[in-house]
Amino acid sequence: MKELKNNIFYCGLNDENRPLFDELIPLEHGTTYNSYYIKGSEKTALIDTMYPPKIEEYISNLQKDGVNKVDYIIANHGEQDHTGALPALIKLYPEAKIVTNAICKNNIMSMLFIPEDKIRVVKTGEELSLGDKTLRFITAPGVHWPDTMFTYAVEDNVLFTCDFLGAHKIFENPIANCDEDLKSAAKRYYAEIMMPFRSFCQKYTKMIKEMNVDMIMPSHGPVYDNPDFILDLYTDWASDESKNMVVLPYVSMYGSTLEMVNYVGEKLKSAGIEVVKFDIVNGDLGEYAMTLVDAKTIIIGSPMVLMGPHPNAMNAASLTAVLNPKAKYLSVIGSFGWGGKLVEKLTEPFANSKIEMLDPVLVKGKAKEPDFTKLDELVNSITERHRG
Ligand code: FEO
């Protein structure tokens, strides 16, 4: 265990071999499951625990480190990458009470069969004394589950933020090296996990800024002894301001759609707009999600396959809608052989979104002169909106 600050220790684990998170997004740098041990003058506490496949290693480490008694196990959130070890821990430390909020209590009872009498429910603002240390609980629904809670170590001015402000990035030293690599890992994590809850991210980023904490200890990735690094990034990413950027996720079978994507991309670049073309068949969806953090406009490029969009384009459209990016404009370009419902199906996932639809451009076969004129009109329409 490594001491991070005044009897607050890191006891989490790296997972360098996990290829995907939520069986969806590739993990470039693995991930970590952070757990913290706090030794007060009278009582001890663990904050968050472990992902099920790592429980044996986690418990063996606790025993090797001489953690013989735990009075409280704080569950900041019910998802099993942080609560997986609770059933084993309450057997190992029979005196321990699990401390959590009412929503998380229901989650851990239904997912992990934790007996009700092992759980103590706390409300926001409630405090728990460890002797010379006080833990204060702050419920934070929305970043990212309804059961999410932060724990504040009052005397040490340290905030445990659970998944919020995390990163999928393994480390040797838990203290963050605030460099471009970490910024990129944190942005990928934000895009995949937090972006759908952007307004909550705004709210809690502001709240934590105002708390002026000395350290932020999240549940994934390194610990921040320079909280402004991650808080300033979140202030930018979660803001309502998008950048002068168009992202073009595309798939093309015979090159007709790609020709249109390249044409539009070059024209937009000539108009001074940053363009990111993204191959959704061979590309890394995490990188795609990262472009959505900033883009003002999304243009999906797809051919028609069996009367509808290419399935990979449909997948990209669904993922985009679920991630709920701040983009203001959406369009579709593509090629067909004999017809079908390309635009209707690709835009259906955005039915409840406020995103403005710009006129699509669909072409039979390869684009011809009148089609390029329509693509020019789309470029002009985007350029005007971005300038506006
Ligand atoms: Fe890292 Fe929502 O669990």
What pLDDT digit, counting tens, does each position of 163-212 carry? 999 999 999 999 999 999 999 999 999 999 999 999 999 999 999 999 99
pLDDT for the residue 338:
84
Residues above pLDDT 70, as percent of the chain: 100
- For 199-230, letters b (16+ CB in 10 Å) and e give ebbbebbeebeeeebebbbbbbbbbbbebebb
In tens, the pLDDT along 128-176 reads 999 999 999 999 999 999 999 999 999 999 999 999 999 999 999 999 9
49 CB-near residues (< 8 Å, 6+ apart): 35, 58, 73, 75, 82, 83, 84, 85, 86, 89
Nearest CA to 341 out of 359, 362, 357 is that of 362
Q: Which residue intervals of 135-244 are DSSP H helices?
A: 180-189, 198-211, 227-237
Are 316 and 282 in contact by the 8 Å Cβ rule? The answer is: no
Q: What is the residue-averaged pLDDT of the chain?
A: 96
How remote is the CA of residue 6 from the centroid of ligand 1, in Å? 26
Ligand 1 neighbourhood includes 277 CB (under 6 angstroms): no
Question: Which residue puts its alpha carbon closest to atom 3 of ligand 1?
Answer: 79
Instruction: Please give the number of the atom of ligand 1 that sits closest to the Cα of 144.
Output: 2
- With a cut of 80, say whether residue 21 has pLDDT above it: no
- With a cut of 90, say whether residue 85 has pLDDT above it: yes
How remote is the CA of residue 82 from the centroid of ligand 1, in Å? 7
Ligand 1 neighbourhood includes 81 CB (under 6 angstroms): yes
Q: In the numeric block, which tokens belong to residue 387?
A: 């300038």
In tens, the pLDDT along 304-332 reads 998 899 999 999 999 999 999 999 999 99
348 CB-near residues (< 8 Å, 6+ apart): 317
Ligand 1 neighbourhood includes 168 CB (under 6 angstroms): no
Q: Which residue segments constitute the domains of the chain, with CATH numbers given?
A: 2-237 (3.60.15.10), 245-387 (3.40.50.360)
Ligand 1 neighbourhood includes 156 CB (under 6 angstroms): no
- With a cut of 90, say whether residue 26 has pLDDT above it: no
Only one residue has tokens 């705004």, namely: 202
Question: Which residue puts its alpha carbon closest to atom 2 of ligand 1?
Answer: 79
Are 62 and 11 in contact by the 8 Å Cβ rule? The answer is: yes
How remote is the CA of residue 158 from the centroid of ligand 1, in Å? 20
- With a cut of 80, say whether residue 353 has pLDDT above it: yes
Q: For residues 95 and 24, which has the higher predicted lDDT (pLDDT)?
A: 95
